[in-house]
Structure 1
């Protein structure tokens, strides 16, 4: 079984090239099949999905490729799809081994290249397979791909076996199922939307195209599975199941079975995980009981999705010998590496919009100088213009159950920008049941500003209704006045600190003055562990 050592998704990359005037050489390593956009032109000419050089160049064009993983080479696939009239008529491949501390020089003749594939002929718009008579015994870290004399190639695949990189201390814990350790997928039930070999890749991927996803099942009791040959026999201690980007299509649960080298017919599985529930778009870690880890070393694991769906990565952390060394405190093993949207993707997200008097009217008034007010009057011997009744200050304390009187509290709020600057997580709202509340920036010049977030009551219990959540951006030259009993978020400053003058009627009786509602239940319902029930996008 061989793997493409050069594909981008495994870390392959072009380091340098002689020419890529018409199409860039990094396209050679794209995992997806080449496509055609006939009739589409760039400023340099017709668009091609591949690598294409100028006409009438030197003896040959070349690019140096760093393989995603060092490995021995068994063969190549060279695809000239859609290159008709401009394909390269001949190509060759050479290899080089760089030491861990060395860098490959940029020139084509600066290193001692080892021939791997001699000069071979290509046809236009065709896939060509070149199997070496005998795979190389030497592993390579880099290759030089040459086109004679020039032209274009759509894709290059470098098939071989990964050169294993294992810890020197056999008790160290590492990913036994990593491509770099030599792991590979040997069999699977289905790969309709994504191949299970993606499970072994590094990183968390970029979308659903680089994971394992099966077609929908309809039969009762159906499961999908893939069999992974570990890079080396080992004692699993920790399992990671990552469903990154699978938001509406992860499996309900996952089972993981281990097999020893002696169990060639896979008749005596060792249960590592048993129907462990998994959530969408998240890393999951499962510790293996020591009585299982200390048992016979396993050489293969079967990943079983119940009933079907998609998984991004599977990591089987373990050691070659037992007992295993402790995982270092600074190791990333077992540590969550959340994606930017991992805790917010399933949340209600609203865009903050510029505030207007009409839009904000259900919740209060906008305090600003009117652009036109026929009722304004000249005062102070004609040196000032007075605009009356731009807000309504309310004290409804007579409706409170207690008899404590309320007085106007004229206060100063100094507000600062939160850590979250683009997407603000909504964890709570508050309201003042019997008083309006006015916020007016002091010294506001229109630069910077703040955001107000409001919601209406839920008719069932009076708590805030998330479906009515609204957010408004407000300039520093504007103020706002909340009506009594309006659910609102604490003030959110978007730029430099803002000092507000506030006026609220308060009696000193807790909930009469301010009532808070925390969205813990709503956040838990959508699987957010940080108590966030909605996101305001600024």
Structure 2
């Protein structure tokens, strides 16, 4: 399950959203030791960087979580709160830049708890092992599938006996409070990742990952949107398909091109469909009956576009497809509606 080159990694679960990422609300709450480098680095974007010659008063500066060398029996651990509770399909324990100081082994435990327990209460809780103690390699992404269908809210990363981990990714499927969504009196964002929306597929995500389109909040920069490469064969368009959290009728749509100025799409359109059976390959699913939701419409740079009266149909839909002409970047897509 290991590969030294990130570009060659094609493991299915890595296509799923990172439930623990800092930008979706994930938090590193408590660690047994963080002498050389802080636990909060585990959930930051990217794979971590290395700066030769940069030191702190405790030693070499490292972009990750690193504990001191253990001189007594035991192991180190870090407790993390998922930004979006859900079912975990796999973890990525990335030891990038940690070569002579990576842990020899790691394991993962999980916990499902409501409310906001203190870190100390979490440390004393009874945890469920979801990944046994397995051997790690240094300077690479260590990818491990998880065979658990339970919804979890917190994880504990255990390293044996000590050392450094650059990043910890928790790929899975969001499991929100569906009863709350069903009881909603007003509209809810049916596409939002935190509500259970899922990006199923897109034809291109060269510059910006597909999941960025439905993340919480507005993007902080251009790199936090979905962006395709420049299209050299025209005419044509790029597309992305989002499965709604629950089937619903659409009342209002927002297309946000924040920070996209010389590379925003010229126009866009949106379609919806209602599917009873799951579709594996949207790129080749030619028999789907798509209904026009938003006709092809002119877009502006760095602008929040709201569409309500322009909507040609309201559903109910299970999926929506955003089409951008001919290419470019979109920061966020919001699909406000009512659960059917």
- Into which bin does the TM-score normalised by the smaller protein fall? 0.7 to 0.9
Asked if the contact 2:263/2:329 (under 8 Å) is kept, the reply is: yes
Q: CA deviation at 1:194?
A: 0.3
Distance 1:57 1:108, change over 3 A: farther
Does residue 61 in structure 1 map to residue 76 in structure 2? Answer: yes
Provide the C-alpha distance between the structure 2 equivalents of 1:168 and 1:215, rounded to a whole number of angstroms. Answer: 38
| Structure 1 gap ranges (5+) | 322-538
Does residue 207 in structure 1 map to residue 221 in structure 2? Answer: yes
| Structure 2 gap ranges (5+) | 1-12, 280-285
Secondary structure of 1:209 counterpart: helix
Q: CA deviation at 1:24?
A: 1.3
RMSD of equivalent CA atoms: 2.1
Report the TM-score when normalising by structure 1. Answer: 0.56
Asked if the contact 1:208/1:245 (under 8 Å) is kept, the reply is: yes
Q: CA deviation at 1:108?
A: 6.2
Partner of 1:18: 32
Partner of 1:237: 251
Partner of 1:145: 157
Distance 1:218 1:126, change over 3 A: closer
Alignment of 1:24-423 (within 5 A): 24-56=38-70, 59-100=74-115, 102-106=116-120, 109-132=123-146, 134=147, 136-166=148-178, 167-169=181-183, 172-261=186-275, 265=286, 267-287=288-308, 292-293=313-314, 296-321=315-340
Count of residues in Structure 1 that have an aligned counterpart in Structure 2: 316
User: Which has the greater radius of gyration?
Assistant: 1
Secondary structure of 2:183 counterpart: coil
Asked if the contact 1:172/1:320 (under 8 Å) is kept, the reply is: no
Secondary structure of 1:19 counterpart: coil
Q: CA deviation at 1:181?
A: 2.2
Q: Higher relative contact order at CA 8 Å, sep ≥6: structure 1 or structure 2?
A: 2
Secondary structure of 1:27 counterpart: helix
Alignment of 1:491-530 (within 5 A): none
Q: CA deviation at 1:33?
A: 2.1
Distance 1:57 1:208, change over 3 A: farther
Q: CA deviation at 1:262?
A: 5.4
Provide the C-alpha distance between the structure 2 equivalents of 1:39 and 1:84, rounded to a whole number of angstroms. Answer: 16
Distance 1:255 1:291, change over 3 A: closer
Asked if the contact 1:253/1:277 (under 8 Å) is kept, the reply is: yes
User: For 1:243-293, what per-residue CA distance to the aligned partner results, in whole angstroms no more than 9, with x for missing partners?
Assistant: 111122211121111111159745432111122222222211100568722
Q: CA deviation at 1:176?
A: 0.8
Provide the C-alpha distance between the structure 2 equivalents of 1:208 and 1:93, rounded to a whole number of angstroms. Answer: 34
Secondary structure of 1:292 counterpart: coil
Distance 1:261 1:22, change over 3 A: same
Report the TM-score when normalising by structure 2. Answer: 0.86
